Amino acid sequence: MNAARVLKETGAAAVKMEGGAELAPTIRFLSERAIPVMAHIGLMPQHVHQIGGFKTQGKELTSHHAILQDAKAISEAGAFAVVIEGVVEPLAAEITHTISIPTIGIGASAVCDGQVL
């Protein structure tokens, strides 16, 4: 298992994965094997070309709903925390109040549980 090897060989405490609901099965698989996972949703730098550049996420109702569903899915799958990047403040607030894991904002306002500056 590559994730276990990464933790063992690097001394890292967890793995971070960009993506939402589509990663829930992988997050569940890793979590059930005691591999801590931090998820990353909203603006995902590794996916910037697929989403059309560095743009604020969650402005439209459909993307707002999709990102909220991503947050719920990764939380339920066992992620221990989630980075929320580049989303509008109302969405960051809704996610923070809806899921049970800590939210760490990057350009997602002060409504998250923590911030990366």
DSSP per residue over 50-112, as a string? TTTSS--BS-SHHHHHHHHHHHHHHHHHT-SEEEEESB-HHHHHHHHHHSSS-EEEESS-TTS
Residue of 9, 18, 85, 94 marked active site: 85
Instruction: Say whether 85 is catalytic.
Output: yes
Q: Which amino acid appears at position 106 of this protein?
A: I
Closest CA to 46 of 16, 72, 69: 16
Catalytic residues: 85
